[in-house]
Amino acid sequence: MSTRTLSTEPDTATQLDTAGDLLSLLRDTTTEPRPDTQLEALTLAVAADLPVLLWGEPGIGKTAALTQLATALDLPLTTVIASVHEPSDFSGLPIVGDDPAEQGVPMAPPDWAVRLVRAGRGLLFLDELSTAPPAVQAALLRLVLERRIGALRLPPGVRIVAAANPRSSAADGWELSPPLANRFVHLQWAHDTEVVVRGLGGTWPRATLPRLDPGKLPEAVAFARRAVCGLLCARPGLVHRLPSGETRRGGPWPSPRSWEMTLHLAAFATAAGSSRDVLSQLVRGTVGDGPGLELLASIDRMDLPDPETLLADPAGAVLPERGDLRQAALDGVVAAVRGRPEKSRWDAAWALLVRAAQSGPPDVVVVPATTLAALRREDWDVPATIESLAGVVSLSRRADDAAARTKSPTAAKARR
């Protein structure tokens, strides 16, 4: 007589179904609006239809950010690992037709390119770009700039974003070739601990396209052109400057192409009302740190109030809030007084310095006050308001010394 043992353990299929349910719960996340400058810079460059290259160490979430971006923008994501492809995968595969002598040999595009064209829109993600050999990088030039793969042209609705690891942390990494590097907006991607913790808890930042103000579009274009062209007229050496080091050539550097990209980004940032931090990331990621910072400084000077307007109404003058801009505005006022020295203008400048010391950091008035004191003529009385600045600098003594030097350099030397 035989007996059978009945198993009380669930079968394998049931266990896999349960595991699938658990995985679905782990993947179930949500998003929230949250200020994030690097994410805003990325979405602004995507909106401007410029190729973006995210630089960052392995494992910090570049791929996850692109996946979330594609979902948030409702764009189908196509990921292509550049390092595992041949040059012909991007330049097109030769296909021999019926009569090559008459029709030539067409270059057939890969299947992922065909799918993007059929969809008419999408986000093309070129991953592991820094591990692609030089031959593959050369084949990518036309794809990134002209959006062409063989005889196929990607539709305007396709955006291109790439990711790369620094050569020191890339597997068999290569430096980017200068022609390819100059076609991208380079953004440094770093992790934010609070963002990571909240994301692992199920809530990630929400990527949204910038809200462009239709009424500001002509003004934004004019502002961007004035800013870029004004800087390049003053600094013509910045129009094209190929870095000397191989490593720096693989990053952002100034050229007519990258300046055009910078102009587009400045216009988009202006129309969207983006912060200075976002604009800083974008322009430095396009033309490099040095030229980018010069452009930002030039833009700051464009926003400075007219010195003559400030001198005309010191009591109602509106001074910049930022300390460096406030000092630059005061320096401009002193320069205006030096250009046309009159007692009334000298008094108005002192009134502005007092107003600046009372409404902001008092140290910003030290240098302009010292210069203004030296502009005093011997028949000009020191304004009574100057005494309120005595705690910042000894302005009355400086003014007296300046007057003494004007009357008699020998007497001024004896006093010292």
Please tell me which residue, 58 or 120, carries the higher pLDDT value.
120
**How much of the chain exceeds pLDDT 70, in percent?**
86
Which range has the top average pLDDT, 110-119, 211-220, 278-287, 296-305? 278-287
Residue range 271-280: mean pLDDT, rounded: 94
Radius of gyration of the chain (CA): 31
Q: How far apart are CA 36 and CA 125, in angstroms?
A: 21
Q: What's the pLDDT at 411?
A: 47
Please tell me which residue, 7 or 165, carries the higher pLDDT value.
165
Q: What's the pLDDT at 280?
A: 95
- pLDDT tens track for 245-257: 877 889 999 999 9
CA-wise closest residue to 208 among 318, 390, 69, 389: 69
Both tokens assigned to 1: 């007589």
Cβ 210 vs Cβ 43: under 8 Å: yes
Residue 122 has pLDDT above 90, yes or no: yes
- DSSP run (H or E) holding 338: helix 323-339
Cβ 291 vs Cβ 234: under 8 Å: no
Residue range 124-140: mean pLDDT, rounded: 89
- Confidence band for 318, pLDDT divided at 50, 70 and 90: confident
Q: How far apart are CA 98 and CA 11, in angstroms?
A: 57
Residue 119 has pLDDT above 80, yes or no: yes
- pLDDT tens track for 214-247: 999 999 999 999 999 999 998 999 999 998 887 7
Query: Which one-letter amino acid corresponds to residue 230?
Result: G
In degrees and rounded to multiples of 5, residue 152 shows phi and psi of -100, 140
Residue 401 has pLDDT above 70, yes or no: no
Residue range 129-156: mean pLDDT, rounded: 88
Cβ 377 vs Cβ 368: under 8 Å: no
Residue 399 has pLDDT above 50, yes or no: no
Q: How far apart are CA 52 and CA 281, in angstroms?
A: 12
Question: What would the CATH number be for the domain defined by 33-93+107-205?
Answer: 3.40.50.300
Residue range 45-59: mean pLDDT, rounded: 92
Strand 52-55 vs strand 157-164: parallel, antiparallel, or unpaired? parallel
Q: What's the pLDDT at 323?
A: 82
DSSP string, 82-138: GGGS-THHHH-EE---S-HHHH---EEPPHHHHHHHHHSEEEEEEE-GGGS-HHHHH
Q: How far apart are CA 224 and CA 263, in angstroms?
A: 6
- Confidence band for 412, pLDDT divided at 50, 70 and 90: very low
Q: How far apart are CA 342 and CA 376, in angstroms?
A: 9
3-state helix, strand, coil in the chain (%, to 5): 55, 10, 30
Q: What's the pLDDT at 415?
A: 47
3 state DSSP class of 188: strand
CA-wise closest residue to 141 among 91, 98, 214: 91
- pLDDT tens track for 57-112: 888 888 888 888 888 888 999 999 988 888 888 877 777 666 666 666 677 788 89
Which range has the top average pLDDT, 19-23, 183-187, 409-413? 183-187
Cβ 287 vs Cβ 211: under 8 Å: no
Q: What's the pLDDT at 270?
A: 94
Please give the mean pLDDT across all residues of the chain. 84
Q: What's the pLDDT at 414?
A: 46
- pLDDT tens track for 350-375: 989 888 888 888 788 888 888 888 88
Q: How far apart are CA 41 and CA 274, in angstroms?
A: 9
- The domain spans of the chain are 33-93+107-205, 214-302, 307-415
Q: What's the pLDDT at 71?
A: 85
Q: What's the pLDDT at 8?
A: 54
- pLDDT tens track for 163-173: 988 876 655 66
Q: What's the pLDDT at 170?
A: 58
Q: What's the pLDDT at 121?
A: 93
